[in-house]
Amino acid sequence: MSMSSEIRAIHQIVPAMNYGDAVANTALVLQECFREWGVASEIFCHVWSKELKARFLNLEDILDDNQSLFLYHHCTGGTAAFEHFSKLKSRKAMLFQNITPPKFFENWSDDSAQHSATGLREIDMLRSVIEFALVPSSFNESVLFEHNIHRTYHIPLVFQESHLQSRFSLPILQKIYSEDAFNILTVGRLAPNKKIEDILDSFALLQKKSAKPVRLFIVGSRAGYERYSAFLLQKTIELQISDCLFLGKVPQDELAAYYQLADCYLCLSEHEGFCVPLVEAMYSKVPIVAFSAGAIPETLGNSGVLLEEKSPETVSNSILQISEDSSFRESLIQKQSAELPRFSIDALKTSLQTKRDLFFGGTCHVR
């Protein structure tokens, strides 16, 4: 019997499934692909958002057999999902979403630093049990190379437009923020690697230089990073910043509205394995200014304003150019829109098809 006839199921194990995020979106599209190949495919998960409950099974429902391959999404450490995956006797592979190094969490979150360090150690544990690894960026691949995992293959992550359709929140927010201000947006959990303090420094200078009012929307959960959040709030006081709004985690409909209100998306993060908000900004036609770190240059492609250094002077000048030069702004939007097909469902399916033989025990010459 050939290897391809022996594999009857390709399942996924995901530590957490949150509605609208890249991990969940990609897992669901992968499941669709695997089922189109004629094999069974389920997603097993330990933590989930209520919108996705019907789309997965509990970890306890896993059936371990020699006719299945399990694909583990590795994005954090010390999870029940990893424990289940590591004990399986079935064939195994990994999709590596990257792990923020623990150095970024020192003095801010002991729990996050511990999970990060554990996640990096787990890569070494996985090296001897996985057959291959999928990565969404060369930056992520470089991390695996450091851990002597070299059988790696690229697939794009997926952006789904339906998650950024605002039906209710936009009219309300337009009334709340009716003043004719230039709106800057940044999205993501308030984690120290995001370097929100650098955004605040740049915004403070921008407020002094701009002829028109400017406003900063900071969207993202502060859960687990309360110490860092307090530091940021204190910094806004010290810098005497006005019109800076820490909005916390917002519903998907409201998030879409903030993208539609935004005139510029700003990212000064120092570690990103992909950075989905950049793609969300592309889709929403919001010009991007971003610091060149991690996978950000790969995600932006030939679009956005990519900064090699991020002094407040450099950042504020880049934002001012977007604010004051409409032709420059439109050029950025056009270039960003041209990058979107790379993150489509069709792009993922096409990429995965070229690597189909990997899942059935064969070889693949396309990286």
In order, the DSSP letters of 142-195 are HHHHHTT---EEE------GGGG--SSHHHHHHHHT-S--EEEEEES---GGG-
Look over the chain and give the mean of its residue pLDDT values, rounded to a whole number: 91
How far are the Cα atoms of 22, 349, 367 from residue 32, in angstroms, in the given order? 15, 9, 22
Q: What is the pLDDT of residue 113?
A: 95
Q: How do residues 299-350 score in pLDDT, each as one tens digit?
A: 999 999 999 999 999 999 999 999 999 999 999 999 999 999 999 999 999 9
Q: What is the pLDDT of residue 52?
A: 67
pLDDT band of residue 131 (cuts 50, 70, 90) is very high
Q: Which CATH architecture has domain 3-158+344-359?
A: 3-Layer(aba) Sandwich (3.40)
Residue extent(s) of CATH 3.40.50.2000 domains in the chain: 3-158+344-359, 162-342
Q: What's the whole-number mean pLDDT along residues 5-22?
A: 82
Q: Is the pLDDT of residue 167 over 90?
A: no
Q: How do strand 133-135 and strand 43-48 relate by DSSP bridges?
A: unpaired
* Candidate from 144-148, 167-171, 344-348 with smallest mean pLDDT: 167-171
Residues 6+ apart with CB under 8 A from 2: none
Q: What's the whole-number mean pLDDT along residues 84-96?
A: 93
Q: Is the pLDDT of residue 119 over 70?
A: yes
Q: What's the whole-number mean pLDDT along residues 118-122?
A: 95
Q: What is the CATH number of domain 162-342?
A: 3.40.50.2000
Q: Is the pLDDT of residue 2 over 60?
A: no
Q: What is the pLDDT of residue 3?
A: 41
Q: Is the pLDDT of residue 298 over 90?
A: yes
In the chain, % of residues over pLDDT 70: 95
Q: What is the pLDDT of residue 99?
A: 94
Q: How do residues 15-28 score in pLDDT, each as one tens digit?
A: 887 766 778 888 98
177 vs 23 pLDDT, higher one: 177
Q: How do residues 214-255 score in pLDDT, each as one tens digit?
A: 999 999 999 999 999 999 999 999 999 999 999 999 988 899
Q: What's the whole-number mean pLDDT along residues 31-58?
A: 84
Q: What is the pLDDT of residue 365?
A: 64
The DSSP secondary-structure symbol of 48 reads: E
The DSSP secondary-structure symbol of 95 reads: E
Q: Is the pLDDT of residue 1 over 60?
A: no
pLDDT band of residue 5 (cuts 50, 70, 90) is very low
Q: Is the pLDDT of residue 161 over 50?
A: yes
Q: Residue 134 in contact with residue 325, Cβ under 8 Å?
A: no
Within the chain, residue ranges assigned H as helices are 3-6, 22-36, 80-87, 110-127, 138-146, 169-176, 196-209, 226-238, 252-261, 276-283, 296-300, 312-324, 326-339, 345-353, 356-359
pTM: 0.93
Q: What is the pLDDT of residue 45?
A: 87
In the chain, % of residues over pLDDT 90: 75
φ, ψ for residue 334, nearest 5 deg: -65, -45
